[in-house]
Structure 1
């Protein structure tokens, strides 16, 4: 038995000595966790504008341009016979530094909300005193300065993003157009002399 005790003491001594003499090396540095910055989210309805000089009149249209993205737009996303802010988010607005004549009526120089009521046949265009509103939340027909109808043209070609254009026809005349999905509407205007 004393032999086993002796052997136990020797083993314990060896272990104790090995543990004391064993050098511990520092752990290798762990790579720091890095996260790549997230790419900026793609804006689905980018804010944009259309403008032109017609003679000395500056016409400016400001809007957010939603995409079709495989959806049915008119009669789907944008319901028929319902007021639409003619863009996304904030109401589309139009500004002119000269009086314009649209559909035989004078639009005094200034800034206006631009609204439509799409339908299968004719669209109603409304140019409204209240230009600074979210969507059509505060639309009031009593604030319409000019209201008239246009007939849309339908194309087989899809315009992916809503697009406005101000086209110069002469030094005193132009057109304003809106195109999205397969629909284009357009109306003429004159500079009020």
Structure 2
């Protein structure tokens, strides 16, 4: 265990109508994945973890893209997305051998809406050109992988990858901070944000 100085101790201030969460910055996708793996083993669910969305979504929501991820680490309005593991992406890519199943997977994840339908159109064009379902599946497999990596690559150019962890009690806060601080580039921080209608 590496000795980290300045690690914020868990606080006991749990306020009604607020959600307490930890936020950490990682300098690589590998470090992020290691932290998420440990958090999962420690009892944290995937829906309790979120990442910063891509630059396009940030610009739409906030009007501007920050030069450094730290600028939005504590912003409750920063747009977020769920973490999709390589295993989850692989499952989507291998759902079926043919084109129709990939269309279903993309529609289910909302990817068509996110691109204005361009992914679906490109896949249909590949299939119509006689390449068949295999080529369309290969195209969509790569597209899903690129979409998963895009926000993380954009963030790395701005100082690192942000990860937020929802904390339900002081024990989970302590556990999350221990795990995050083993992998993050600097000590994780904790803050409260207003609770929305959906958790």
* TM-score bucket of the superposed structures, by smaller chain: under 0.3
Higher relative contact order (CA 8 A, sep 6+): 2
Q: TM-score, normalised by structure 2?
A: 0.23
Structure with bigger gyration radius: 1
Q: As a proportion of its length, which structure holds more helix?
A: 2
Q: As a proportion of its length, which structure holds more strand?
A: 1
Q: TM-score, normalised by structure 1?
A: 0.24
